[in-house]
Amino acid sequence: MFQKQWGEGCYNFDMGTLGYILLSTFLISLGALVGVATLAIAERVLEKALLFLVSLSAGALMGGAFLHLLPESIEEQELAPTIAFEVVLLSFVVFFLVEKVLTWRHCHKGKCDVHTFGYMNLIGDCVHNFIDGLVIAAAFVNSVELGVVTTLAVALHEIPQEIGDFGVLLYAGWKKQVALLANFLVALMVVVGGMVGYYFSFAVESVMVYLLPFAAGGFIYIASSDLMPEIRSQKTLLKSMTSFGVFILGVVMMYLIRMMGE
């Protein structure tokens, strides 16, 4: 621990917490390199693996929002439930606006329709990754356990997302090496968001209490608008029930983590 004078107040910066944030966000950034591994995987195997990851990610995001972030903001941060739910709704609207303004839409297959030009796709990812970093930082500032849970939920979403983004850039005509480098540099915005979120939490503590329900709203939006439609698109009964089962597994995983922490 060390103290730093910032404005008129004196804040205690926990270097251990900062270390957790930097490590977690950097590991998530490495997910951008998953694109290389996908080149060596057969398309059929990759599609099955991505369906599993997308379903598990959707469940983990929903579980993380309702079983960890919202209870933490209401019980531990003593935020009024009405205000917490209003922030969740506001977050849902903001994420929807970001998607519309930046045409932020991810696909989760190695080959997919190009939703945007390559550069617009990267701009949307920059904003998305920066917000992920803020969310992770806010979680770790509250507790290491909540930080780990949030990192896990974000990571499960990032892997299929990065594979999809890599595929979009290739389909848009980018060379593999350039697409990989661009994807990784954009992924590092998670680290930037984590650092900004950590220091911002000490500068404006009154604002950070609202970031947990804001993150919950973002998790709900990503799961419901980006991931679950792909799960619903499965046409065979077996695939539909398998993806639903994996979705429930993601929720149960978050529930068990909560039980172990109590």
Q: How many structural domains does the chain have? A: 1
Q: Quote the pTM value.
A: 0.72
Helix or strand or coil: residue 12? Answer: strand
- Domain limits for position 81: 43-261
20 within domain boundaries: no
For a pLDDT cut of 90, what percent of the chain falls above it?
18
Q: 11: helix, coil or strand? A: strand
Domain-embedded: residue 32 = no
- Strand residue runs (E) in the chain: 2-6, 9-13
Query: Does residue 146 sit within a domain?
Result: yes
pLDDT of residue 92: 92
The verdict on residue 5 lying in a domain is no
Q: How far apart are CA 233 and CA 237, in angstroms?
A: 11
pLDDT in tens, 41-66: 666 666 677 778 788 888 988 998 99
Distance of CA 61 to the CA centre of its chain: 8
227 occurs within a structural domain: yes
DSSP string spanning 182-236?
HHHHHHTHHHHHHHHHHHHHHH-HHHHTTHHHHHHHHHHHIIIIIIHHHHHT--S
Q: Per residue in 201-230, pLDDT tens? A: 777 666 767 888 988 898 898 888 878 887
30 found inside a domain: no
Higher pLDDT, 149 or 171: 149
**Looking at the domain assignment, is residue 27 inside a domain?**
no
In a domain, 21, yes or no: no
